[in-house]
Amino acid sequence: MDKHRLTQVGRALKELGIQMIAAYSPQARGRSERSFGTWQGRLPQELRLAGITTAEAANGFLRERYIPQFNAQFSVAAAEKGTAFRRPSRSDLNWIFTVQTERVVAKDNTVAIGSRHWQIEKTRFRHTLAGSTVTIHEHLDRTVSIRYGPHVVGRYNPQGEPLAKQNQQLRGGKDGSMEAGENQKAVSTGSHTPLEISQKARDSHFSTAPMTTGVPTKPKTKSPKNKEAA
């Protein structure tokens, strides 16, 4: 196991703060090999005997029959009551549980994995991301998202077509940016509300204060009483 080049599972566990213990001992490797032998050798025969030919029927068979029977035969009761599980510290599980691949954006503002290509639209902060490194997220529902740092710059369906409605909402209008922070609950609109300054008349003792009316007024002169008082 290379701790510096993590697998997708290793990367997800690291983001969740879970330490993975590698099975270096012969006993642990034996348990793994026996488990793999069961799944790869016995399970296909069970599916064949049940007459299952589709993925949907296979998933139903696993949930309703195979896994309950497997647990009933091989599970061992815990020596102590309680649970060692804790609540996750991250709320963006939809981003963590994805297949993540880094790619450099081509000159035509596209990225590709094998024969699949995605066109990135221009964003508010940059007209093109050519030469930039982005992360392609393949979600569990087979949709794809592309992120440039904290910014989501594209969402696509399993066929690679842009999800127009979601892109428009995230982009906040023409030339907006699609941003998705790790714990961001609301989506940025991509626009700013202009600062409105009240049109109240300023105090007259400021020399730079504009006139409150369009008609100029004559400056006031001191009366004789004021001169004597002065």
Q: What is the pLDDT of residue 223?
A: 52
Has residue 216 been placed in a domain?
no
Taking residues 134-158, report their average pLDDT: 95
In single-letter form, the type of residue at position 139 comes to H
What percentage of the chain reaches a pLDDT higher than 90? 40
Has residue 98 been placed in a domain?
yes
Same domain, 67 and 108: no
Has residue 208 been placed in a domain?
no
User: Is 153:125 a contact under the CB 8 Å cutoff?
Assistant: no
Q: What is the pLDDT of residue 204?
A: 39
Same domain, 164 and 132: yes
Has residue 140 been placed in a domain?
yes
Taking residues 32-53, report their average pLDDT: 87
Q: What is the pLDDT of residue 192?
A: 37
If one counts the domains in the chain, the total is 2
The Cα–Cα gap between 160 and 97 comes to: 20
Taking residues 182-206, report their average pLDDT: 38
> Of the candidates 70, 21, 22, 5, which has an alpha carbon nearest to the alpha carbon of residue 42?
70
CA 149 to chain centre: 10
Has residue 221 been placed in a domain?
no
130 is in which domain, residue-wise? 93-171
CB atoms within 10 A of CB 130: 14
pLDDT of 50 over the 50 cut: yes
Q: What is the pLDDT of residue 213?
A: 43
Has residue 190 been placed in a domain?
no
Task: Give residue 203's pLDDT band: very low, low, confident or very high (50, 70, 90).
Answer: very low
Higher pLDDT, 55 or 225: 55
pLDDT of 13 over the 70 cut: yes
The Cα–Cα gap between 96 and 140 comes to: 11
Q: What is the pLDDT of residue 133?
A: 96
DSSP letter, residue 162: B
Question: What is the three-state SS of 111-146?
Answer: EEECCEEEECCCCCCCCCCCCCEEEEEECCCCCEEE
Highest mean pLDDT among 21-35, 36-50, 125-139: 125-139
The CA dihedral of 208, 209, 210, 216, to the nearest 10 degrees, is -90
